[in-house]
Amino acid sequence: MIEIIPAIDIIEGKCVRLSKGDYNSKKIYNESPVEVAKEFEANGIRRLHVVDLDGAASHHIVNYRILEQIATQTSLIIDFGGGIKSDEDLAIAFESGAQMITGGSIAVKEPELFTQWLNKYGADKIILGADVKDKKIAVNGWKDGTEIELIPFLNQFIEKGIQKVICTDIECDGMLQGPSVELYKEILEKFPSLYLIASGGVSCMDDIIKLEEAKIPAVIFGKALYEGKIELKELKIFI
């Protein structure tokens, strides 16, 4: 059964969503991310993906107080990303209640530091974030592209022990036009034992069913929930 992971993206302490990572496309869905998290939990959700978009833009963790509130007021298993660029950021995230952290830009810019974290905390605590546009890695909250090809990038860290990867197709994210199923299938063909978490583009229950049929282990989505395209009660078949 595919693992269901709703997303809460935070700007200025509020629950928001972007389109294709464009901060100018920001739409506020709820003033209280904690209340959103509580509603998820009340409907049987166990996992949560929290992104500090302010942190991603400013290159250090910002919204850790919101993380702390979600962690203390729910029993959700939280993975946290956005702005984790130093040992101090990492420590703050874990101390604030994250059970896992996702590192994307840091893995590109400081691969040795990211590998140190992997060795210190283990593959169950450190998730590799692979944000892609045209199969090339993007960094800094998706604002900057690179010439780094996706598959070699993944291979580099899988060889070092990474087991969990969140892969977001930026062109799909927030667009409600369907996820990149073929891209995820291609990744799993290369790395069949990888715990691949699909992210971006989910627009309806059929999209989740297609990902499950493709044997994608997990899926992150948010906008479809906030826009009412998927209702929490519908997800109970996966929980």
pLDDT of residue 20: 78
DSSP 92: H
Contacts of 88 (CB under 8 A, 6+ apart): none
Token readout for 234 is 């519908």
Domain of 211?
A: 3-238
Average pLDDT of the residues of the chain? 94
The residue from 52, 79, 89, 131 that is catalytic is: 131
> Is 9 one of the annotated active-site residues of the chain?
yes
Cβ(220)–Cβ(199) below 8 Å: yes
pLDDT of residue 141: 55
pLDDT of residue 214: 98
Cβ(76)–Cβ(48) below 8 Å: yes
From residue 239, alpha-carbon distances to 3, 120, 190, 224, 228 in Å are 8, 32, 28, 18, 19
Q: What is the mean pLDDT of residues 4-15?
A: 97
Rounded to the nearest 10°, the torsion over CA 165, 149, 176, 223 is: 40
**139 or 32, greater pLDDT:** 32
Rounded Cα gap, residues 15 and 194, in angstroms: 30
We report the CATH number of the domain holding residue 208 as 3.20.20.70
Rounded Cα gap, residues 90 and 84, in angstroms: 6
Rounded Cα gap, residues 179 and 168, in angstroms: 9
First to last CA, the chain: 8
Q: What is the mean pLDDT of residues 63-71?
A: 98
125-179 confidence digits (pLDDT tens): 999 999 998 899 988 655 677 899 999 999 999 999 999 999 999 888 767 789 9
Which amino acid, one-letter code, is at 131?
D
- The answer, yes or no, to whether residue 221 has pLDDT greater than 60, is yes
Q: To the nearest whole percent, how much of the chain has pLDDT over 90?
A: 84
Contacts of 149 (CB under 8 A, 6+ apart): 135, 136, 137
> Is 89 one of the annotated active-site residues of the chain?
no
Tally of structural domains, the chain:
1
pTM of the model: 0.94
Q: To the nearest whole percent, how much of the chain has pLDDT over 70?
A: 98
